[in-house]
Amino acid sequence: RAAAPRGSWSSDSSGSSGSWEPLYRVVLLGDPGVGKTSLVNLFAGVQERDLLEQHGEAAYKRTLSVDGEETTLLVMDAWEPEQRGEESRRRSQCLQVGNAYIIVYSITDRGSFESASELRIQLRHARQAEDIPIILVGNKTDLVRCREVSVEEGRACAVVFDCKFIETSAALQHNVAELFEGVVRQIRLRRGGKEA
Is 33 among the residues that bind ligand GDP (CB under 6 A)? yes
Scanning 11-19, 85-93, 118-126, 167-175 for contacts with ligand GDP by CB under 6 A, the matching segment is 167-175
* Angle in degrees, 0-180, between the axes of helices 89-97 and 110-126, rounded to the nearest 10: 70
Candidate list 62, 143, 185, 191; residue touching ligand GDP; CB under 6 A:
143
Which residue lies nearer to ligand GDP by CB, 174 or 190? 174
Q: Pick out residues in 81-100 that bind ligand GDP (CB under 6 A).
A: none
Smallest Cα–Cα separation from 180: which of 158, 164, 159? 164
Scanning 19-27, 42-50, 140-148, 180-188 for contacts with ligand GDP by CB under 6 A, the matching segment is 140-148
| Shortest CB 120 distance to ligand GDP, Å | 17
Candidate list 91, 140, 149, 187; residue touching ligand GDP; CB under 6 A:
140
# of chain residues touching ligand GDP (CB under 6 A):
15
Task: Give the interface with ligand GDP as residue ranges (CB under 6 A).
Answer: 30, 32-38, 139-140, 142-143, 169-171
